[in-house]
Structure 1
């Protein structure tokens, strides 16, 4: 094992410890006898969940294909395969290996460059976080016990600021690079600031290459694809007969997916379960059924996406003929994203 590999291994330990803590905290007061009594009350909703899962990840692939069109002539099928492969890798491997593979290993497959792909990954994250924050703040103000009234007001102000920032980012990306560099130059920690500047400038470059009508469509498509994912949460709640108000699954969608921002093990194990359970309980669900709900939703999405991405990866490798092993490809990846 090389020194860099040892350092990478050490980087994964805090994430697994954080996941372990959240798993313990989620299950510490669960009635296991009650958990074993959770049943499929309405199995027909499983079909609805599968339909919306397919629709949601098809839209994710289409959204990324639209982003890539500004710098690449790759087909939709190639973009979908690379995206699903990266999701699968992120779900089972630490250190965001899926993002590394998408940016560096598949640039030739997409007829693009690593910086161009990296810029679309950053833009993808900005759109997702913006959409989830908006949904989280909307659901927070309705029948929720998660935050006090004062905290909700502060959250709404934060949302307004974030919304305006994203709007300016989308409408005036090309003109923002110089002011952004001047602003960041005033901050301490030049190493961290330099990395942040590089990613933000990459996002601005990606946005500036995209026409304004397409930018607006990307925002709308982000809302639609997250609505599809929200219907998975609703479907699982109906399948298990979870009793909460109608907002509970939607707040669980926003809160659980925002938990991916917390450093943890691959797939946000532990943080996802804790936040999804907390959201459901705050909207009237009993704690034990809420834990069952969180587990089923997480396993369903992780398993199906990982299997789909893995199958696409294996089929492509079988089709392309002789190639380096996955281990060799991973050894060629840089230590961290630029």
Structure 2
């Protein structure tokens, strides 16, 4: 049942909560981008950007896009208890989800992934979403581990500043998420009762909607097997981020920055953890602000950080968006229809 507070905006139907979330995310992006631009000498940033040779884009994209090939292998393993799919299907659908996050509000990419997979296979959406939750938990733990290793071996927490605090907070959040997933898989009824009690203290979330979402997650988690495949998933998760970290490291070389590989992986981890906060589609602003803060941990200029982040962001955004749109065209799936269905799923049980 749809909420009565739906609003039309340019052909888009939003609930009041969704509209507030969308506007708030755009405001966050604008505020962080404004802060980032205030920190830098724009003329110097443009001059720094001019040092980037376009030939560097090739190895950077090879590293980045290779990580999606590994993501496809990992998701295929996670999906086995839910639906057996080919590696090409799992990889293509992942591209469609990332494309949706770049183009649509409300972080609908994960829902779009589940919807697209449901249209090209017989996989149930709730089971698919459960695999994505597990995937995101492992991603978060790997990124937190990267920050911890860099801070322990390269720079101290006092030098890392906000990066170190973000890593500590993220470790708490993702470790809690992992415990929740394991608990939900092994003890679903106590978890459901706990969620019911918690929702009574959270007025901004409707109790029935929250319970409905929790029941869907629990049903999906019942299909997941915690066996030796998860060891492979952990290894593949590390490989995903090592490959993407290669893009960040090649980017440092492209700008002739005399820093070690730890700077690349700290920036990678901090940027990807930071884009979890609400923002405009494509993470505009948040990506740049996070890169500036990560570079500060190594004493690198803000102008270089801004130029570096713009190059990486553009390469990631354009490549994934184009490939994702091609995937939808091959599958004969309409982005407009996915948009309507994924937005509607936000306020239906």
Shorter-chain TM-score above 0.5: yes
Aligned to 1:37: 47
Q: Structure 1 residue 212 and structure 2 residue 223: aligned?
A: no
Judge conservation of contact 1:240–1:293 (CA < 8 Å) in 2: yes
Q: Structure 1 residue 314 and structure 2 residue 329: aligned?
A: yes
Work out which of the residue numbers 16, 19, 24 in structure 1 matches 2:34: 24
Judge conservation of contact 2:137–2:177 (CA < 8 Å) in 1: no
Displacement, 1:313? Answer: 1.5
Give the distance between the partners of 2:169 and 2:271, measured in 1 at CA.
22
**1:246-279 deviation per Cα after TM superposition (whole angstroms, max 9, x unaligned):** 3222111111111122101011111111011110
Q: Structure 1 residue 280 and structure 2 residue 295: aligned?
A: yes
Number of aligned residue pairs: give it: 329
Work out which of the residue numbers 243, 246, 253 in structure 1 matches 2:268: 253
Give the distance between the partners of 1:197 and 1:294, measured in 2 at CA.
40
Judge conservation of contact 2:328–2:335 (CA < 8 Å) in 1: no
Displacement, 1:126? Answer: 1.2
Displacement, 1:116? Answer: 1.0
Alignment map for 1:77-96 (pairs within 5 Å): 77-96=88-107
Give the 4+ runs in structure 1 shifted more than 6 A. Answer: none
Which segment is superposed worse, 271-280 or 184-193? Answer: 184-193
Which segment is superposed worse, 198-207 or 175-184? Answer: 198-207
Work out which of the residue numbers 323, 327, 330 in structure 1 matches 2:336: 327
Which segment is superposed worse, 31-40 or 160-169? Answer: 160-169
Give the distance between the partners of 1:204 and 1:243, measured in 2 at CA.
51
Aligned to 1:126: 137
Aligned to 2:108: 97
Q: Structure 1 residue 222 and structure 2 residue 233: aligned?
A: no
Q: Secondary structure of the residue that 1:20 maps to in structure 2?
A: helix
Aligned to 1:234: 249
Aligned to 1:64: 75
Displacement, 1:244? Answer: 3.5
Name the Cα RMSD after superposition: 3.3
**1:279-328 deviation per Cα after TM superposition (whole angstroms, max 9, x unaligned):** 012112111111111111111111111111112222332xxxxx7x5434
Judge conservation of contact 1:173–1:208 (CA < 8 Å) in 2: no
Aligned to 1:320: none
Displacement, 1:180? Answer: 2.5
Give the distance between the partners of 2:283 and 2:189, measured in 1 at CA.
36
Give the distance between the partners of 2:256 and 2:218, measured in 1 at CA.
42
Displacement, 1:107? Answer: 0.8
Q: Structure 1 residue 302 and structure 2 residue 322: aligned?
A: no
TM-score by length of 1: 0.84
Instruction: Flag structure 1 segments of 5+ consecutive residues without an equivalent.
Output: 318-322
Q: Secondary structure of the residue that 2:300 maps to in structure 1?
A: coil
Judge conservation of contact 1:280–1:290 (CA < 8 Å) in 2: yes
- Seen in structure 2, the aligned counterparts of structure 1 residues 161 and 286 have a Cα distance that, compared at 3 Å, is closer
Instruction: Flag structure 2 segments of 5+ consecutive residues without an equivalent.
Output: 1-5
Aligned to 1:50: 61
Q: Secondary structure of the residue that 1:236 maps to in structure 2?
A: helix
